[in-house]
Amino acid sequence: MYAVALYMLAPGQAERIGSVYPRHRAYLDAFQAATADILLIGPFSELDGGPGSMAVFRSRAAAERFCADDPFVREGVVGEVQVRDWNALDFTPFA
C-alpha cells in the first residue's frame, strides 16, 4: 500500500521557504538516492487555496521516515503533517 504525505505551512512561515529549501532539497535528493521510495512530490498550486505540498511514497514507513527528518518539518516551516495510506487504482501508473 502506498502513502501520501500532506504538508501545510505553519502560519507566518511562507517567507522562510526560500532559505530552508536548499536543505530540504538536499535531504530529498539523498533520501531518494538511498531509498527510491518517493514516487511523486511537489507543492500545491496557489490557486488551490493556499501553501502546502504533498508526496506519494511506496509505503507508510517511508513517508513517516521522510517527514520526521525533513528540514521543512524540523525547522518549523511546515506546521501540519498528515500521512495517509492510499490505495492506488488499477489505472494509476503505480498500481
Asked if residue 25 lies in contact with residue 84, where contact means CB atoms within 8 angstroms, the answer is no
**pLDDT (0 to 100) of residue 49:** 55
Residue 74, SS3 per DSSP: helix
pLDDT at 36 over 70: yes
Residue ranges and CATH numbers for the domains of the chain are 2-86 (3.30.70.1060)
pLDDT at 10 over 60: yes
Whole-angstrom distance, CA of residue 33 vs CA of residue 23: 15
pLDDT at 95 over 70: no
Q: What is the DSSP letter of 12?
A: T
Mean of the per-residue pLDDT values for the chain?
92
The dihedral of CA 18, 48, 59, 36: what is its sign? negative
Whole-angstrom distance, CA of residue 73 vs CA of residue 58: 20
Q: What is the pLDDT of residues 37-77, one digit of tens each?
A: 999 999 988 765 568 999 999 999 999 999 999 999 999 99
- The reported pTM is 0.89
